[in-house]
Structure 1
């Protein structure tokens, strides 16, 4: 990777300057290699000379010129740079020698992957199995699936989990609703029926306190797992999970294993975790106050300043602790999650057995067989920002048990929730008279956009705008458009979902990327640059030889963006940020379309045609890699 190699060479040059001055490396100094904002300033830039001015007591320009001489003498990056410039107020700019890059483009554009090895366990989706999925759930699934694709391309072994909370309040509410309320109307899917039932029972709760007590009874029966009520819950959850998997499959999202919360209890994972936790000073039973009878995990752990094993004397202080077992004996979600994560890291002797569930997906099952799931080196959980505290408690439990290395490798990929724009909320019957900028979805109120309904609306919108019916179906294009829409935002951004905006096919959209890819394929076919085999991409045309200084601006800009692919991948892997791939792919497609409009690809002198055909092929290859990471199709026709 050019930028990484350049960073190492700059650090080496800086260290030599510091040694000559008899000065050690400043603790706050970090060498950064950036991309210049102006195209005339080359492909890379660093401001390290300005950062060194105070330490070396010299002007930034004097340092920049000296560092330039050092780097030129060292023949940096094996001759990949044609020019290094020191420019005011102290930047060093680096211009790529495109003739060298072209001759070694396979090396420079092949992402080498992570140096870290070992299995990565990624948990995502994990929707409560009590109703149909909505677009907020889909954002989680798209992020998790893209991270799995990203890390697989980086060379990691990836295992994908979908955690099914079949012992939670939400499923209990739906079961109570099925048994004690009446939901009318036509429903195509069972999950849609449960969507309305869940909303209805939550309305009934307000005037029927005794029904809320019924929920507590149902929760107990779900956990015991032997009654007719438990069977109703089990069948409800399984039916809805099958529908949810079918919904996700339309977006190219799949899983390796479903881990059912009930199996964590039944297989003794929580019992084993409980015994381990009891041996620490961070886990204890509260004897008085609001939480009397509860088992809690102290937020401060063993380093909280209290004597080991001594509960805080102030009952109110327990509010900062996390209840794992309620006074009535019911386990909290976090308790089972702690046991689950001990298993994920291979830290428990107990294990699950598995049965095939659907389409290559395995499921924990008492009647199953042993499988090599779990035992991850790194664990990544894709859960929205509201779950930051429970995730912190799982990490705390690992630390309290002495598993500090595993705690450091437990990563929470947090993201902003999806809410509705005022126009979209109003179309769903939400009162928008408050004039807010967005409105939250609420399963309890039955407010939200179901995944299946959104896909249908988007498919109809795509169908109405298509002039030709070639290549991908409107449904496939619709799924790609929705997936890209949910991935393109920064993870911490709250996505204010607007149905009209989401169905647009121009601008920064998934459809725009697909059209650019198909356009490049069409150009290559006309150029006779390769031939189609059975399912094979167009073959690479000859690498052109040309004067890199004679590149026209659209050619240079496109080639530059292509060259940035490997470092974009590296940044996305390090930051676990799918939106970086979206931004890169959109910019790449923009530059290709600009190149396509400004530079006649198949007309002109032979050497120019040769260059432009090759550029088109290289663009298509690179965009294809980005589309694969994003989980989008790479169509020959649109």
Structure 2
């Protein structure tokens, strides 16, 4: 892919520097010159504010500077003409024949492949079936990994398994203490109801005592309860992986919390932390006996005002989740003199293990953690730990990708049998209360909904369409926004949905199949990968589609830099909509040559870009629907 904005920025900079040199000026930093696409086509295909940024340097009006720059900028190979607009914008009208040739060249950088990015996502407690809230995390993380890979980074995807947590202890307690004799297809569904019954049938004090006993046994290992916990966790992890695979989500490595503890990762991290004045054992007050990590300048940051100190080791010696997470992140960046052993878990997926072989996992240059916004404080304390240990570069390259939780719309909640007579606008999910929609159950319901609205059954199976519709629905909202999931909206054929995007790809594929058959002389077939001459006068829908196609490399670069998959979904929906408008306004196969050849080429470019974007967001690119 070639970035038209990156190219234009470089060319503008060279020509502006030449003009300044002619007049005896240097270009001061920061330059802050932007290149963007105007929202209105009459204002050009691209525009720059360079003249306005130069006004304080040259002490002239932006309009006069723009007029002086205009002839210099008209020599840029991609530019057809330049217009000056008040108060000093320079608007570029591109030469689309030049762009067609320019865009087909690859200028991918190989430098990025030298840098490894570790993306951690999913990380579901392995104590029951996964629900739709977990799926949002996985869709975001998987899409970020795809984006990073697409622009050239080496990416390693981790799924952290908290097999020593309270939730696993509660499920093990239920399996040992509660009788449940009902018919279930999957173990995770059985544990879903067991977990709920534990919280409904056990008083708080009794549950705390039983949980503490089981947690101690789990952490100690090599006993009956620890083996039961291991079997439960591994069985449910396999089911979680099956669920995620249906949405095109995969991983490179499973990291088990028990391995972090038993392989001495925390002990090594503890020795490092003890060298920091921010990490100390409290001798008095409510935290007496606890090892705590102080948050520097807590008053200024305003977070966790009531307790800016993060407990890492409780007074009874039990580690908190954050303590183990700090050790894990020191390993992620290659800052511990320790490593796991590894063994295959399923297919190409590896798992940390106490026995096995060495593998080149970890040692990241950059780490992304996809965790919901409720975990902002613990994530910040991991960064604080890295900073206090002197690993400031690593701390700067640790990113928490937060997102809003998923609730159910009243209509969807009612379909699940939840009482909605209180008239709430949304219904939050709760594992303890058994309120939520399991991923497999959701997929079954969505498949039925797709079947009900699908006029034809050719092409990819309805279950794949349903999975794509769910995935897109969970991706298209801004990350910080809470999603109120509604089944009917997710399967909407006409709105902003995954089904609509896939249909437009299938439509483009159908046109190209007909085009191949229509052009019996093979003229189009012989040159379909090269642009025919772009007409001198483009229709508004043709030009709008070209302008948007030109933005794909820049959109992907910016979205990846900002860790914002929503920008990619928005681009893809706009591309599908512009193609639909083009299709309705411009006959393709019935157009006379050479216009027909151009429109077939434009259709092919749209299909390839749409397929690329669909792959990045994890949706199929079907030839038929």
TM range (shorter): over 0.9
Deviations 1:151-171 (A, max 9, x none): 111111111110000011111
Which residue matches 1:278?
A: 274
SS in 2 for 1:606: coil
| Aligned-partner Cα distance in 1 for 2:518–2:165 | 56
Does residue 474 (structure 1) correspond to residue 462 (structure 2)? The answer is yes
Task: Identify the range of structure 1 (417-426 vs 38-47) with the bigger mean alpha-carbon deviation.
Answer: 417-426
CA contact (8 A) 1:15 1:25 kept: no
Which residue matches 2:226?
A: 230
Which residue matches 2:135?
A: 138
Residues 51/481 of structure 1: CA separation in 2 closer, same or farther (3 Å cut) = same
Residue 5 of structure 1: how far off its partner (Å): 2.1
Does residue 178 (structure 1) correspond to residue 175 (structure 2)? The answer is yes
| Aligned-partner Cα distance in 1 for 2:537–2:207 | 78
Which residue matches 1:376?
A: 364
Residues 530/199 of structure 1: CA separation in 2 closer, same or farther (3 Å cut) = farther
| Aligned-partner Cα distance in 2 for 1:540–1:397 | 58
CA contact (8 A) 1:64 1:90 kept: yes
Task: Identify the range of structure 1 (500-509 vs 477-486) with the bigger mean alpha-carbon deviation.
Answer: 500-509
| Aligned-partner Cα distance in 1 for 2:265–2:517 | 59
| Aligned-partner Cα distance in 2 for 1:240–1:175 | 12
Match of 1:262 among 254, 258, 264: 258
| Aligned-partner Cα distance in 1 for 2:108–2:518 | 25
- Provide the aligned C-alpha RMSD in A: 2.5
Which residue matches 2:596?
A: 609
CA contact (8 A) 1:291 1:318 kept: no
Residue 18 of structure 1: how far off its partner (Å): 6.3
CA contact (8 A) 1:530 1:539 kept: no
Does residue 355 (structure 1) correspond to residue 343 (structure 2)? The answer is yes
| Aligned-partner Cα distance in 1 for 2:56–2:261 | 61
Match of 2:85 among 71, 84, 87: 87
TM-score normalised by the chain length of structure 2: 0.93
| Aligned-partner Cα distance in 2 for 1:30–1:546 | 36
CA contact (8 A) 1:540 1:614 kept: no
Residue 49 of structure 1: how far off its partner (Å): 3.4
Which residue matches 1:593?
A: 580
| Aligned-partner Cα distance in 1 for 2:29–2:391 | 33
Residue 63 of structure 1: how far off its partner (Å): 3.0
| Aligned-partner Cα distance in 1 for 2:195–2:493 | 35
Which residue matches 1:189?
A: 186
Residues 114/388 of structure 1: CA separation in 2 closer, same or farther (3 Å cut) = farther
Which residue matches 1:49?
A: 51
Match of 1:150 among 147, 154, 158: 147
SS in 1 for 2:536: helix
| Aligned-partner Cα distance in 2 for 1:539–1:247 | 44
Task: Identify the range of structure 1 (418-427 vs 402-411) with the bigger mean alpha-carbon deviation.
Answer: 418-427
Corresponding pairs, count: 614
Which residue matches 2:118?
A: 121
Does residue 460 (structure 1) correspond to residue 448 (structure 2)? The answer is yes
Deviations 1:276-299 (A, max 9, x none): 111111211111111111111111
Deviations 1:159-215 (A, max 9, x none): 11100000111111111222223335332211111111212212234x352222111
Which residue matches 1:534?
A: none
Which residue matches 1:333?
A: 321
Match of 1:484 among 459, 472, 493: 472
Residue 466 of structure 1: how far off its partner (Å): 2.2
Q: Which runs of 5+ in 2 are unaligned?
A: 520-524
Does residue 634 (structure 1) correspond to residue 611 (structure 2)? The answer is no
CA contact (8 A) 1:588 1:623 kept: yes
Residues 122/627 of structure 1: CA separation in 2 closer, same or farther (3 Å cut) = same
Which residue matches 1:313?
A: none
Does residue 243 (structure 1) correspond to residue 239 (structure 2)? The answer is yes
| Aligned-partner Cα distance in 2 for 1:46–1:609 | 34
Residues 613/204 of structure 1: CA separation in 2 closer, same or farther (3 Å cut) = same
Residues 416/521 of structure 1: CA separation in 2 closer, same or farther (3 Å cut) = same
SS in 2 for 1:594: helix
| Aligned-partner Cα distance in 2 for 1:155–1:391 | 27
TM-score normalised by the chain length of structure 1: 0.91
| Aligned-partner Cα distance in 2 for 1:422–1:47 | 48
Residue 22 of structure 1: how far off its partner (Å): 5.3
Q: Which runs of 5+ in 1 are unaligned?
A: 306-315, 532-537
Residue 142 of structure 1: how far off its partner (Å): 0.8
Residues 318/521 of structure 1: CA separation in 2 closer, same or farther (3 Å cut) = closer
Which residue matches 2:37?
A: 35
